[in-house]
Structures are given as structure tokens and as C-alpha cells.
């Protein structure tokens, strides 16, 4: 198994957050991430969808793209292309405070309502 690229589009509703969390957890488990890392990713996914759902403009979908290898999981999450309204700064601050210690890298493109993040495996040698 080399790199897996998965795309998932969900309705922009809190009712679907659990599906996004389950998807990221399943992808991480398949690639040997530890239980602790999987739980971190579930929390990160929850915070990501929560952040995007706080956009002032209503959107129909949240788009998730995953790139998974034995060493890392990269994810990009964004709203529909037509939504170009900045996310509330207090929501960005909460997101940053919650997930910054759990990720190796993340970036928020506030003009495009997009979150890009990377989580490396702690035990990538197994």
C-alpha cells in the first residue's frame, strides 16, 4: 500500500460531523497510527468541521480530501467554492489553541474557508 487519496463530500451540518471523524479514524487505523494518534485525529476533525460550520455564509457541503501514507496523514477541508466569507477570528483562535499541539503542520486559508493539516505518525518505523 502506497499513498491513498480519498475525497469525501458531506452536507454542511453538525449531524454529519461524526461521519468525518469516523472516516479519518479509519484511515489512520489502516495505516498503523496509534490509538492516541487516532483519538487526536478525531478531535482535530471535530474542531475542523466545527470551524468551517461557523462560516457566516451558509454552504451546502464540506469537502474533505485525505492523503494517507505509512508516515503521515494530510487533510484539506473546505466549504463550497462559492463561499468566500472569512471565518470568525474567535473561532480561528479557538481552533488554533485546541489543535496546534496535536498537529505537525496546519494552515488556515481564511479567504477560501480552507483548513490544511498534517499529522505524522509517532511510530512510522513499524
The model's pTM: 0.87
Asked if residue 124 has pLDDT above 50, the reply is no
What is the per-residue pLDDT for 109? Answer: 87
Is the model more confident about 65 or about 57?
65
Q: What cell does 85 get?
A: 466569507
Q: What is the mean pLDDT of the chain?
A: 88
What confidence category does residue 48 fall into, taking pLDDT thresholds of 50, 70 and 90? very high
HSE value, Cβ hemisphere, 13 Å, CA-based, for 82? 5
Of 5-19, 36-50, 110-124, the least confident:
110-124
**Can you give the pLDDT at residue 84?**
64
C-alpha cell at 7: 475525497
pLDDT at 11: 93
Average confidence (pLDDT) over 70-78: 93
CATH code for the domain defined by 4-120: 3.30.565.10
Question: How do the domains of the chain map onto residue ranges?
Answer: 4-120
123 falls in which pLDDT band (50, 70, 90)? low
One-character DSSP codes across 57-103 = S--SEEEEEEEE-SSEEEEEEEE-TT--PPPPHHHHHHHHHHHTTT-
Cβ neighbors of 58 (< 8 A, separation 6 or more) are 12
Q: Which residue has the higher pLDDT, 24 or 112?
A: 24
Amino acid at each position: 500500500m502506497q499513498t491513498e487519496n480519498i475525497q469525501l463530500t458531506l452536507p454542511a451540518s453538525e449531524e454529519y460531523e461524526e461521519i468525518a471523524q469516523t472516516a479519518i479514524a479509519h484511515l489512520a487505523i489502516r495505516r498503523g497510527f496509534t490509538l492516541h494518534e487516532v483519538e487526536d485525529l478525531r478531535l482535530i476533525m471535530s474542531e475542523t468541521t466545527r470551524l468551517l460550520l461557523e462560516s457566516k455564509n451558509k454552504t451546502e457541503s464540506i469537502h474533505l480530501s485525505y492523503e494517507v501514507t505509512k508516515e503521515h496523514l494530510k487533510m484539506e477541508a473546505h466549504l463550497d467554492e462559492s463561499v468566500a466569507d472569512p471565518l470568525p477570528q474567535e473561532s480561528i483562535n479557538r481552533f488554533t489553541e485546541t489543535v496546534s499541539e496535536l498537529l505537525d503542520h496546519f494552515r488556515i486559508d481564511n479567504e477560501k474557508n480552507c483548513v490544511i493539516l498534517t499529522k505524522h505518525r509517532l511510530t512510522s518505523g513499524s
